[in-house]
Structures are given as structure tokens and as C-alpha cells.
Amino acid sequence: MEIFKNKNKTKPTISQEKILEKLQNIKYPGYSRDIVSFGMVKQVEILDNNSVKVILDIRTQDSKIKETIVKEVKHVISAIPEVNNVNVEVQQTGATGEKAQTIRPKLLSQIKHKIAIASGKGGVGKTTVAVNLALALAKKGTKVGLFDADIYGPNVPIMLGLSAARPGIQNNKMIPLEKHGIQVMSIGFLLPEKETAVIWRGPLVSKAIEQLMTEVAWAELDYFIIDLPPGTGDAQLSISQLLELSGAIIVATPQDVALADAVKGVSMFQKVHVPIIGIIENMSYFICPHCHQRTEIFSHGGAKGICRQLGVPFLGEIPLDPEIRIGSDQGTPVVIEKPDSPQTKAFMEVAEQIMQKTKH
């Protein structure tokens, strides 16, 4: 789409580049990125008498966020001395470019509960937790889908032993793979080699996530577990805009640096009005298999303290254990490989809490 249009019959005294430069100072609420880099500025027109019209594509159903962005756009452009009038128009476009309704329908309406699994930083075992929680929910008799939204590091195929698998096509939609009773989809299934690096800018990430949800024939499910990439960026924003999330679960380890990032994760979801189901403390402690002595390698109890501080639920502790790591590496998660182990019990207890908190 052409961003710049000049309908001023006389020579304008302001440049469209200057307007765009000013708009780059407006951050999307709750994020460090600006509305221009997020692709929300669809068009800038300079009209007669130096009036400016800006067309925005804001894909959220949160009216407060829309109002905030529109207000800031009017403010920054009105502050340009040469501008006499500012008109801001908000529209939403679908994947094919047609104008959509003012309120965009939420995707995957056939799925009851959509839950994002997030972490403020990498290396805390978020994907391991997501995979085992999905399997634990399935073992409790619910219908579960697992969506690997970690575009840059799609590890779900490895953890489920599906690295060589490819989805089929039916009625122009991809058929999600199935393993251990859950449906699974990941961009890792679509890459030519598992070592292929995904080097994409934000808009491509957002588009890929949307396609992996809309162009996949997901069944009617009770739970849709979404493994997000670490941090607070494009994938998190896209998911919160496209889906009506039942809530988010933050995975953290006990050390201070991970907990500090977990707080940022909670703050991000709260700013986009996604409920926090709770925080899980992963790698909480280690039990020596020889002497059975408990060692708190990364400290202990930090996540529970953060939960008290933030007023969010604490969902439980997952131990640091070689069996969990071995199962993930071999494609047989511990919940499946060792169903009677203490590690599996920990995941099952968290799954039970999730089911209780999503009852309605």
C-alpha cells in the first residue's frame, strides 16, 4: 500500500516524511516499538490548506488503546507549526486487504480456552513447560492443541519427536499433526531444514503467526496452548490482538534476573488487558538421584514472592531434573515417558490449577 499521498493542489509547506518521522515517536501502549514499525500507519495524505489525514490500521478490540493512539497521533501532528488541521481515520484490514468491520472477529472461535505461555527471557524452559502442560491437560481428558508461535526458535517439533514430519493439506488448509493425543502446529514443520534460521522483521512475524492460525484446520478444542517466543515483542502483540485469550502463564526461574523479566512479562499482558493465570517457577530445585538431598541451584521461592508482590496466582514449582531434559531432547516428554514420576506429578498439579481457573 502506498503510504504517502499528496492531494494539495498547491505546493505543500510540510513534507510527508516529516509527518512520518513524528509518528515514529509514538509507541504502541505497553511496547517499546513505534506504530510505524508495527505497520499501523497505512496512509498519510496532505490535503488543501495543509490539512493532514492519517489512516491507521489498529488490530485490537481494546477501545482504550485505539483512543490513546489516535489522541497521540493528533497531538504530535498538530504540534507541527505548518499543519492547520488533522484528521485521523482508523480502519482494519483483513489478510486480503479489504476493509473489515470496526470490530474484527476473534480467530479460532471453535476453541474454548486459548492460553499463552510466555517468559520475560530465554533459557527458563518455557517450551518444555508448554509441551508438558499441553500433554498434562490432555491426560486429564480435555481436547488440546499446541501452537508453536516461537517463530525464531521453533523447538516444539524436536520435543515431540516430530522434526521430520510435515503437515498435510485438505480443502486448502494445513492439517495439524497429532502426537500423544494433542494437535500440533509449528513453523518448524514448514522449514526446509531444521537448522534453517528464520530472519524476519516484525510484520512478517505477525503475518506468519496469523497464517498458522487461520490457514490450519484446528479442531474444536478445550485448550489451545500457545508457546510464545521469549520477551515482549511482535509475536506477543499479534497474539493478544488476534485472539481472545483466556489468559497468560509466565514461566520464570528463581534467580533475580529471570524474575525481573517475568515482572515485565506480567506488565506487558496487563497493558493489553490479557488476564494473568499465574506464574510457574521452573528449575525450582534439584533432588540428587544418589543421596536424595535437595539443592536450590538458582535460589528458591522468588516466583512465589513476585506473585505476592504483583497480586497474581502462583501455579507451582517444577524441579530441575535430568529426566525432563532427556525427554525433551529425545522427543518423549516426561509426562508421557514417566507418567508416575514426581516431575509428571508437578505438571499435572499445574494443569489442574489451570482447569480450575478457566472454569466458567
pLDDT digits (tens, 9 = 90+) for 28-81: 887 767 888 777 888 888 887 888 999 998 877 678 888 899 999 999 999 998
CA-based torsion, 9, 13, 17, 19: positive or negative:
negative
Q: Indicate the SS3 state at residue 158.
A: helix
CA-based torsion, 226, 229, 233, 234: positive or negative:
negative
Q: Which of the two residues, 267 and 70, has the higher pLDDT score?
A: 70
pLDDT digits (tens, 9 = 90+) for 300-313: 777 888 888 888 99
User: What's the pLDDT at 197?
Assistant: 57
For 18-70, the three-class secondary structure string (H helix, E strand, C coil) is HHHHHHCCCECCCCCCECCCCCCEEEEEECHHHEEEEEEECCCCCHHHHHHHH
Q: Identity (one letter) of the amino acid at 83?
A: V
CATH fold of 4-91 reads GMP Synthetase; Chain A, domain 3 (3.30.300)
Summarize the confidence of residues 195-200 as an average pLDDT: 57
- Helix (H) or strand (E) run with residue 170 in it: strand 168-170
> Which residues have a Cβ under 8 Å from the Cβ of 151 and sit 6 or more positions away?
187, 198, 200, 205, 208, 209, 229, 235
- Helix (H) or strand (E) run with residue 148 in it: strand 144-148
CATH architecture of the domain with range 113-357: 3-Layer(aba) Sandwich (3.40)
Question: Is 0.95 topped by the overall pTM?
Answer: no
pLDDT digits (tens, 9 = 90+) for 105-157: 468 889 999 999 998 777 888 999 999 999 999 999 999 999 998 877 789 99
- The rounded distance, in Å, linking the Cα atoms of 22 and 80 is 9
pLDDT digits (tens, 9 = 90+) for 207-257: 888 888 889 999 999 999 999 988 766 778 778 878 889 999 999 888 777
Report which listed range, 74-83, 129-138, 263-272, 292-301, is most confident.
129-138
Q: Which of the two residues, 251 and 3, has the higher pLDDT score?
A: 251
CA distances from residue 201 to 20, 205, 212 in whole angstroms, order as listed? 19, 7, 17
Centre a 10 Å sphere on the Cβ of residue 344 and count the other Cβ atoms it contains. 23
Band of residue 360 on the pLDDT scale cut at 50, 70, 90: low
| C-alpha cell recorded at residue 238 | 499479534
User: What ranges do the domains of the chain cover?
Assistant: 4-91, 113-357
User: What's the pLDDT at 15?
Assistant: 82
